[in-house]
Amino acid sequence: MKDAGRMNSGRGRGSMRDSNPVLPENSALADELRTILKGKPTVSGFNRSLKHEILAFLAAVFKIVLVCVLCVFFAFGGFGAGMLLGYVSMTRPLSISDITQTDEVQTSFVYDSQGNVIARLTGSQNVDRIYVPISEVRNTYLEEAVISIEDERFYEHSGIDIRRIGSAVLSALANGGSATHGGSTITQQTVKLISGNDEHSTSRKIQEWFSAMSLEQELSKDEIMELYLNLAPMGNNYVGVQAAAQNYFGKNASELNLAECAFLAGLPKSPSYYNPLRETGRRNALRRQRIVLSKMYELGYITEEEYQNALNTELLFQTSHADTTDDVNSYFTEYAISEVINDVAMTRDISVDLAATIVYNRGYHIYTTLEPNVQAVLDEAFTTRDLFQQDPTLLVDYPEKPQAGMVIINVQTGAIAGMQGGYGPKTGNMVLNRATQAYRSTGSSIKPIIDYAPAIELGLIVPSMIYVDEESHLDPNNPEAAWPLNADRSYAGPMTIRRAVATSKNTIAVKVWYDVGGDTALWFLRQEGIDMTSEGSYPAQAIGSFTTGITPLQMCGAFNTLASGGTYTEPYAYTQVLDSNDNVVLTCSPERHRVYSAETSFIMSDILEDVITNGTATGSVSIITNSDGEYIATAGKTGTTDANLDKWFCGYTPYYCGAVWYGYDNRLRQTLIPTIDKPNANRIWYYVMSRIHQDLPGASFTRPDTVVEMEVCESGYYPSDYCREQASTITDYFILGSYLTPSQDNPCPIHIAPLEEEEQQPAVEG
């Protein structure tokens, strides 16, 4: 019967297979399978109303009939040919050369900015997807199982199977709108897995047909099957039969027996519904396995004896995730790889899964922006307990330990120089990276990039302008309540913008936000790489309250806009990618555009130095000096959210920009930061930044020629001698030509000369 099965399949194979049968009388599972695995699944995959079911049925029937009609017209010509040709002309060719050019799995390499290898990538290092050549699974029943359940005429059609489509229609009509099988061939499914396009539309379906027929012309059946076996979704983010075999059964795909092959072949139809890691999902998957085996027997791929033995073969699932490597990639390396994968997928119009398979298995050389000296200091800081827990005894009963994420960007290039995504040594791959994936409220650290810098750019404020810190009622939804409140719940009266930033006054920040305008403020924020326009504008955004949080990477990119003189550069982690033959696969060309003038950037940076010298960061952050004691200009802003759930420090020098978030993941409950640990974000930032500047020359922020330093009265007017006599003058920066720059033509009207005594009038004689 095996030989007959091979003849029926149109293929010849000489290798024998071992299905590892367990005889019924020796199997404790046999009776249970017969009693439990009968009928339909015990848990419904859907929970919809009758009305919904009827509408879904009618829609399904209509769609299938329409597709069939178009298929007929497509096959035989006539009406609709023009429309079909139009759809076909818009079909983009599939890009598959990297994955089909060789059966050899090649190691990919990741390099730092100095050319040192920092990671070696193979499929085995990413247990979610491991490429396996078809030659390695030839001695299994994987192909027969897949063909039996997915496309029994796989070796006969040229990409689409009109008989199968018609059968699917009849099946849907006979089963209340739910077909027992789909109309797509394995080739069509492979097209979807390559392109990642699963849109439900007539045009997409026609383009899929054309791509399937084109794929059949370009590749052999074995090559198409190999792609399918390696790209098919297997549940729980596992892609391909090798990853599924290792994670579900603890073995390689080449070692699978008949029962295991049938089990895996049934998963791609609905990986979540047939999820083997859930009890109900496993029961559903075992029922589908029986259908696969029955179909294999019906088509002659297996004998009756093999069929019965496979039904009674106990599947031994492994209970833990497969771990095939001791290599743990850094947070930066994983992020850089993910960026390469996404860019490969986008530039070549392929699925992310296929792009990942290519990057991990085709000998790529990925050159990153990582600066090893910067990363070494970051690694040191994030394994220094004193920076995270100043008194560990206070945290003994806490449900979790404090965490942080930090990103360092090279100001001159806009490239990511270093990254850390969590406290302590990184113990696994693909874990939470708090530098790029922790979306947290920013508190006051947002103020420079949403309130003050936009206001300076628009010519609305200067550093010496006076605003009044007073009880305000600025919440449009609750105008009777005092809002916003300052951190110390007090008000300091009139003060300059410079002082309001240094002391982080919420009242003045919201007033400036109103002057800028909410939509305009969000426009500036989006130009700095943080798009919150979907939320609409509301005053609380002025002090960092958004529905969606912001990551340290986003904050670092936004602050780097000021550090670089006003130009935003989208942070990037790699420069180029070469293939195994040194051909250029990707060259990174980050988006760059000007947001602020050089004048705005310098003035805002100068104001932010006050945050460190006499503001909210004083005592935990200092102006940076190098190993020779030379001054390096340092600007930054603190941030705290309500109830001290989050602490931030974002700051920069002329060389590097860094952003730190510190707090708790709050997976079990909200955990407040102890008072003693409140400065920890500042301390982490200063620890890293002060060390990476030790060998750099002293430097100041570049002051444009159009920015002048002037003496001005505290009233904001050009000072008179009497202002000086009253000691009411200050020195600050102004932009030449701005109407806010004091002029001699408009002297201070407050401090004026005292009135001279009126001359005494002579007495009138009587």
Structural tokens at position 302: 């297996």
Spatial contact of 70 and 162, defined as CB atoms under 8 Å apart: no
Helix (H) or strand (E) holding 385: helix 385-388
Give the residue among 627, 626, 629, 651 at the shortest CA–CA distance from 638: 651
Which residues lie across from 483 on neighbouring strands? 473
Spell out the alpha helix ranges (H) of 693-760. Answer: 721-725
Spatial contact of 177 and 60, defined as CB atoms under 8 Å apart: yes
Could you confirm whether 156 is annotated as catalytic? no
> Which is catalytic among the residues 143, 144, 150, 339?
150
Helix (H) or strand (E) holding 222: helix 221-231
Q: How far is it, in rounded angstroms, from Cα 469 to Cα 505?
A: 7
Kindly report the number of other CB atoms within 10 A of residue 384's CB atom. Answer: 14
Spatial contact of 539 and 513, defined as CB atoms under 8 Å apart: yes
Q: How far is it, in rounded angstroms, from Cα 754 to Cα 232?
A: 89
Amino acid at 660: V
Helix (H) or strand (E) holding 87: helix 81-89
CA 528, chain centre distance (Å): 17
Task: Tell me which DSSP letter residue 201 carries.
Answer: S
Report the largest interatomic distance among the alpha carbons of the chain, rounded to a whole angstrom: 150
Amino acid at 444: S
Q: How far is it, in rounded angstroms, from Cα 616 to Cα 342?
A: 40
Q: How far is it, in rounded angstroms, from Cα 419 to Cα 435?
A: 7
Could you confirm whether 44 is annotated as catalytic? no
Angle of helix 352-361 relative to helix 186-195, nearest 10 degrees, comes to 80
> Which is catalytic among the residues 19, 444, 504, 715?
444
Q: In a 3-state reduction of DSSP, which class is residue 750?
A: coil
Sign of CA dihedral 50, 51, 56, 61: positive
- Return the beta strands (E) in 411-550 as ranges: 416-420, 466-469, 493-496
Q: How far is it, in rounded angstroms, from Cα 360 to Cα 369?
A: 19
Q: How far is it, in rounded angstroms, from Cα 180 to Cα 164?
A: 11
Q: Give the CA count within 13 Å in the CB-facing half-sphere of 199.
A: 10
Give the residue among 460, 527, 17, 73 at the shortest CA–CA distance from 261: 17
Sign of CA dihedral 643, 546, 537, 739: positive
CA distances from 418 to 112, 374, 614, 671 (A): 10, 6, 29, 28
CA distances from 644 to 262, 490, 663, 667, 673 (A): 54, 18, 8, 16, 6
Q: β-strands 466-469, 635-640: how paired?
A: unpaired
DSSP string computed for 486-518: PTTS---EEEEHHHHHHTT-HHHHHHHHHHH-H
Q: How far is it, in rounded angstroms, from Cα 134 to Cα 102?
A: 11
Which residues lie across from 660 on neighbouring strands? 406, 649
Structural tokens at position 264: 């895996």
Kindly report the number of other CB atoms within 10 A of residue 458's CB atom. Answer: 14
Instruction: Judge residue 319's burial from the number of C-beta atoms within 10 Å of its C-beta, 0-12 exposed, 13-18 middle, 19 or more buried.
Output: exposed
Residues with catalytic roles = 150, 444
